[in-house]
Amino acid sequence: MDIDLMLRVYPFFLEAAWTTILLSVLTALLGLTMGTLGAAARLSRFAVLRFIGAAYVSFFRGTPALIQLFILYFGGPQIGIQLDAFEAGVIGLGINAGAYMTETIRGAIISIDKGQKEAGRTLGLSNWQSFYKITLPQAGRLMVRPLGVNLNMLIKATALVAAISVVELTYTAQRYIGSTYKPFEMFLLAGILYMIIIYATGRGVAWLDRKVQIT
């Protein structure tokens, strides 16, 4: 194993790791937004919105994320959507992550005993007041861990955007293989950096989860 080589190329990989992190953060933000909207749609009192929410979830969970990225990036221009690779990566992965987060958020909300909302309504709170003062704070605490799982998956899924040539970690590893012919070292180095990002994120999620729990 060529450790010297790994140390030499390491700074370039680090730079690529920042791109992966930026991609992850933007994807996570878009995913959370879409997940919130998706959950609101799936829990709506209007059948049309429930249908749209369900269709969104089944399409994006029921097809490979890579195909979704290809449709957006390569197929997009055909229907008038011009995006650069990074934009397509964020939007494609964000919408995909949002489908998973929709189910996470909805799951947490429906797991709150309906007696909670009833107790609020009985006191005179409106539907919305009971939701945001009673149901949501409880559901929010339950969501932290499963959203952490979604985040973990989403970070790993950012590797897919190498296929549309976003210069992030995986793409960078592939590029260095072209000049060094050392796939083992290059992919290992990328793997180590992914692991550090994911480990740190996992610790952050665990910390947040502890912080919001009621003792």
Within 8 A by CB and 6+ apart from 86, the residues are 23, 161, 166
Which one of residues 138, 152, 174, 180 is an interface residue with another protein (CB under 8 A)?
138
Which one of residues 125, 159, 177, 192 is an interface residue with another protein (CB under 8 A)?
125
Q: Does 210 bind another protein (CB under 8 A)?
A: no
Q: CA 22 to CA 14: how far, in whole Å?
A: 13
Q: Which is nearer to another protein, 11 or 115 (CB)?
A: 115
Query: How many residues bind another protein, per CB under 8 A?
Result: 21
Q: Does 80 bind another protein (CB under 8 A)?
A: no
- One DSSP character per residue, 87-135 reads HHHHHHHHHHHHHHHHHHHHHHHHTS-HHHHHHHHHHT--HHHHIIIII
* Helix/strand/coil for 166: coil
In the complex, what is the shortest distance from the CB of residue 127 to another protein, in angstroms, rounded to a whole number?
7
Tokens of 134: 């009673």
Q: Does 214 bind another protein (CB under 8 A)?
A: yes
Q: Does 44 bind another protein (CB under 8 A)?
A: no
In the complex, the residues that contact another protein under the rule CB under 8 A are 113, 115-116, 118-127, 129, 133-134, 137-138, 141, 214-215
